[in-house]
A = this chain, B = another copy of it.
Amino acid sequence: MKEQLLELLEKKEFLHIRELLLEMNDVNIAEVLEELDTNNQLVIFRILPKDTAVLVFSYLSTDTQEKIIQAITDKEVKTLIDELYFDDMIDLLEEMPANIVKKILRNVSEEERPLVNQFLRYPENSAGSLMTIEYVDLKRDITVKDALLKIKRTGLEKETIYTCYVIDQNRKLEGIVSLRELVVSNDELLISDIMTTDVVYVNTHDDQEEIANLFKKYGFLALPVVDTEKRLVGIITFDDIINVIEEESTEDIYKMAAIVPSEESYIDSGVLHLAKNRITWLLFLMVSATFTGYIIRNYEATLSSEVILASFIPMLMDTAGNAGSQASTLIIRGLSLGEVKIKDFFKIIFKEFRVSLIVGVILSSINLIRIMIIDKTSFSIALTVALSLYITIIFAKIFGGMLPIIASKLKLDPAIMASPLITTIVDAISLLVYFQLASLILGI
């Protein structure tokens, strides 16, 4: 594709290029564009019909968008932002450097400027920052036929026409009607006859995670966004929500690996940026692990008289850490999917306790046998290790189950209670148990 395009560009066969591209999906055109240099990108951007060019533009990477805006004239910028969906324009303004933002803003029409400023003020990750204003609104007292005519006239400029919003003269949301209902209904019926009044809506300041949960629960194509007086101010469509769902999962996964979340992809991230997002937690966890070291120092005498005890430390620490992370991961994910609630606290503790009894007995008996047969230590050492493992696993599972819920209760993100932090906490517990038992059983 790229080669063919370059050849045609070389020969200046612009009509042919246009024809070729118009058969392609906009997303695919954007993909091909990304591979060309800025000059050719501009040529193609100008060859395409205006409406296609604008759609293709909205699928380009931030870098390419920046280069194109830098290169085109003010008049072209004006056309571009007039044609862009409103939410795509806001996204653009949020992502571009200051000089580009200036170039865009001076081409926004007088009337639209207050709206643009209002949208830029919505908090990141709120309904306001996700919504768009290109929706179909209808009045309750028009007929299905008139509604379809209105859609026919204005439908191409709307982000979606599949859900239409019924509002009163004060723009208050009264109901919704789907295009499906309009199409299958009798032409002479009124909108008020067929609209649904039990509408699920969100407020401009609602968080994107809650909104995503509504989409998942109801399977909606779009959700209306209202202000504090229930006036319709915008809509959110499912395609934006698919990104939100994935972003939220990625954020959780990063936090669970002690990485400060970032929206930049790994490949595009600079080394310093990556290092910065990792160092804070590494540092914090390293200092925490130091305290575990002090436990060992406290028992130096015990260790000196039975140096072999040291050789079981990695197995004890790792197994405890893994057992704890399994529990905390299940609870953290359950919380963010809404399957686990804070009120399940005691249920979870009891469940983890029972799981740890089963898991613990298997792991520690295997260990007991293995140590006696392969390591050929005394029975009391094998017993010390096996018992420590059992007790530690019980602690690990219960802590792993509890801590995410406690974090959630304290309005902290449960995801910080994942593997790394749990491991550090459980390591300390496992060594304490281990050396206490060693003193007790081995009498040292």
Contact = CB atoms under 8 A, between A and B. Distances in A.
Nearest to A420: B322
Contact of A282 (B241, B256, B303, B319): B319
A272 interface: yes
Nearest to A312: B293
Nearest to A367: B286
Contacts of A256: 253, 256-257, 329
Contacts of A444: none
Interface range on chain A: under 10, 10 to 19, 20 to 34, or 35 or more?
35 or more
A311 to B, nearest CB: 4
Interface in A250-264: 250, 252-254, 256-259
Contact of A267 (B215, B243, B340, B431): B340
- Judged by DSSP, the binding face of A is helix
Interface string A402-437: 000000000000000011100110010001000000
Interface in A306-356: 307-308, 310-315, 317-319, 321-323, 325-326, 329-331, 333-334, 337, 339-340, 344, 347-348, 351, 354-355
A318 B425 CA distance: 11
B184 A162 contact: no
A326 B359 contact: no
A62 interface: no
B283 A366 contact: yes
A294 B315 CA distance: 10
A329 B293 CA distance: 27
A24 to B, nearest CB: 6
Contact of A326 (B25, B216, B278, B355): B278
A363 B286 contact: yes
Contacts of A308: 297, 300
Given A151-B184, A322-B282, A363-B286, A267 B311 contact: no
A358 B275 contact: yes
A183 B155 contact: yes
A196 B355 CA distance: 55
B148 A183 contact: yes
A294 B314 CA distance: 10
A355 B276 CA distance: 9
Contact of A289 (B249, B267, B294, B318): B318
A237 B272 CA distance: 42
Interface stretch (A7-15, A39-47, A202-210, A217-225): A217-225
A2 interface: no
Contact of A423 (B151, B281, B318, B418): B318
B310 A355 contact: no
Given A23-B197, A293-B311, A303-B307, A250 B333 contact: yes
A227 to B, nearest CB: 23
A334 B266 contact: yes
B319 A289 contact: yes
Q: List the 8 shortest-distance A-B pairs measured between CB atoms, nearest first.
A: A257-B329, A219-B239, A249-B249, A292-B314, A289-B318, A265-B339, A296-B311, A289-B315
Interface of A: 23-25, 27-28, 148, 151-152, 155-156, 161-162, 179-180, 183-184, 196-198, 200, 215-219, 221, 238-239, 241-243, 245-246, 249-250, 252-254, 256-259, 265-267, 271-272, 274-275, 278-279, 281-283, 285-286, 289-290, 292-294, 296-297, 300, 303-304, 307-308, 310-315, 317-319, 321-323, 325-326, 329-331, 333-334, 337, 339-340, 344, 347-348, 351, 354-355, 358-359, 362-363, 366-367, 370, 418-420, 423-424, 427, 431
Given A252-B253, A267-B340, 13 more contacts: A23-B198, A25-B200, A216-B246, A238-B238, A245-B246, A250-B337, A254-B330, A265-B337, A272-B358, A285-B318, A294-B311, A310-B313, A321-B423
